[in-house]
Amino acid sequence: MKLFGLDIKRIEKVPLPRTTANKPSGTAQILPVNTGTSSIDKGTVTWQGQNGEEQVRAGYSGNDIVYSIIRLITDKVKQAPWQEYRIIDETSYKRYTAAIKSKDLNISGKQLAELHTKALEPVKQGGRISELLKYPNPTDSWGDIVEAYAAFKLITGNAYVYGKQIPFGVNKGAPLELWVMPSQYMSIVADLNVFPILPTGYQLYLQFLQQFTAPEILHDKYFNPNWNIVGSQLYGLSPLQAAAKVLTRSNEGKQAAVSNYQNGGPKGILFVADDRYDPLQSVQEAQDIRKSLARNQGAKNVNQIEASGYKVDYVPLGLSPVDLDLLNAENMDLRALCNVYGVPSQLLNDPDNKTYSNTKEGEKALTVRCALPMLASIRDQFNRKFMKDWGNQKTVIDFDISVYGELQEDKAMQVQWLKDAPIKTGRKLEILGESTDGYTPEQLDSIIIGQGSTTLDEVIAPAPMIVPNGLNDYDQPTA
């Protein structure tokens, strides 16, 4: 049998302890590993402390709001093209990487691009890394790897990438293939008797148990402050763990609405409350009234009044979706879940935040506050792993932000600002990203103010006064 291109033998399942029999592997099992000589055998399977499988099932797969939020982010991150680079300016590279991680992005997209160009030089004839950026494995593109990496991290707080290493040759140690692993079924093996606790290996428990050495697995995670003696701090804290109550309320609210439509039954009970009739007669009279009401239904009878010779009453059963205020509760859940992930709610049709300007700003905020930090994390983790365990210490990989048009300056605002700015025409064209072809050196060196093509020299030194014919500067007109 093959798994992720690896020849493995089916082995007997490792029985879980009774106290955790209903929990998925990798989330609550503490299994001692058989002693041996390899590093992975010198440890214990640690405890994640959260149910990753449930986060996938009830979160991403079972809640439309969570699904939409994560798809917004992953669709954005997979747009960026990647390439192998060589660092040519360490200072500029540090400034660039620091700026790209900022969730405020206080410099323009153009300035970022300039820093990128100054810091990095594309590798023209790349090796194994450039090949992986095209075809990381037989079934996925690099965009698929980035999408799956980001999705698992957003859902479970952890992302795992298996690098099937080349055993010998020039590229020994470099990955032959890269596969994103299902983080809800991954466990970390560590020696809990030392400090600090460090991973010695990893396990995938999905139908059968598969072990991996520490160099084979890239693990990225969110910060987790929940330290304990069973190694929970080695796993990332899922955003859905922090939003567990909101997610439960959202799912229960949707289930309540579905149940109301499916099993609502009669809206109420109609009965005759007339003392002149005994109970049996009252039931018959109520049925007659019901039949009369049924005959007079339809569009033609809207707002018509039905008459009755009996004193009748009506008792409603249950609450309507309006009474339950499900719609308002869903909007509150939408905003709460968006806050957890840092996604602007206007991009998910928040009824109170849907203007065009808000949507435009929201698209930029999604890129700056969600996509770029995720891309920076993926880049840094791969570069760390390539340098530390996967045999590359000369180059780095990075993504191109020029595909994100929302990071570019608004041309209309730029033109309005540049119109009266005392800047040379050549510099204005450079700021706007326009070509200087067809302009003379004198035109490029001139400073034009306003829409009337008035040069700065003309503003500072007005044209000489025209003197009437027959007069010079010393002549005075006669009275």
Residue 355 CB contacts under 8 Å (≥ 6 apart), including other chains? 346
pTM of the predicted structure, to 2 decimals? 0.72
Give the C-alpha separation, 30 to 79, whole Å.
40
The pLDDT of residue 428 is: 73
In the 8-state DSSP scheme, what is residue 352? T
The pLDDT of residue 263 is: 59
Residue with tokens 């791969």: 382
Q: What share of the chain is helix, strand, coil (3-state, %, to 5)?
A: 45, 15, 40
Q: Of 237, 27, 66, which Cα lies nearest the Cα of 151?
A: 66
The pLDDT of residue 361 is: 83
Do residues 293 and 306 make contact, with C-beta atoms less than 8 angstroms apart? Answer: yes
Q: Of 349, 341, 331, 154, which Cα lies nearest the Cα of 250?
A: 331
Query: Does 81 sit behind a cis peptide bond, omega within 30 degrees of 0 on the bond before it?
Result: no
User: Helices 142-156 and 64-77 meet at what angle, rounded to 10?
Assistant: 140
Do residues 397 and 133 make contact, with C-beta atoms less than 8 angstroms apart? Answer: yes
Query: Please, what sign has the CA dihedral across residues 416, 420, 424, 425?
Result: positive
**Identity at 197, one-letter amino acid code:** I
The pLDDT of residue 397 is: 95
Give the C-alpha separation, 72 to 74, whole Å.
6
Give the C-alpha separation, 120 to 139, whole Å.
30
* φ, ψ dihedrals at 406, nearest 5°: -70, -15
CA 220 to chain centre: 15
The pLDDT of residue 70 is: 97
Give the C-alpha separation, 201 to 275, whole Å.
82
Question: CA angle, corner 30, sides to 28 and 33, nearest 5?
Answer: 140
**Residue count (the chain):** 479
Query: Helices (H), strands (E): how many in the chain?
Result: 17, 16
Give the C-alpha separation, 20 to 18, whole Å.
5
Query: Please, what sign has the CA dihedral across residues 59, 60, 64, 67?
Result: positive
Residue with tokens 């499900």: 326
Both structure tokens of 266 = 């009669």
Give the C-alpha separation, 71 to 59, whole Å.
13
The pLDDT of residue 56 is: 94
**Identity at 323, one-letter amino acid code:** D
The pLDDT of residue 16 is: 40
Give pLDDT < 70 ranges for the chain.
1-43, 47-49, 105-106, 260-267, 270, 272, 277-282, 293, 296-310, 317-327, 354-358, 409-418, 420, 431-433, 449-479
Alpha helices in 244-325 (DSSP H): 244-263, 279-295, 321-324
Three-state SS at 105: coil
**Identity at 475, one-letter amino acid code:** D
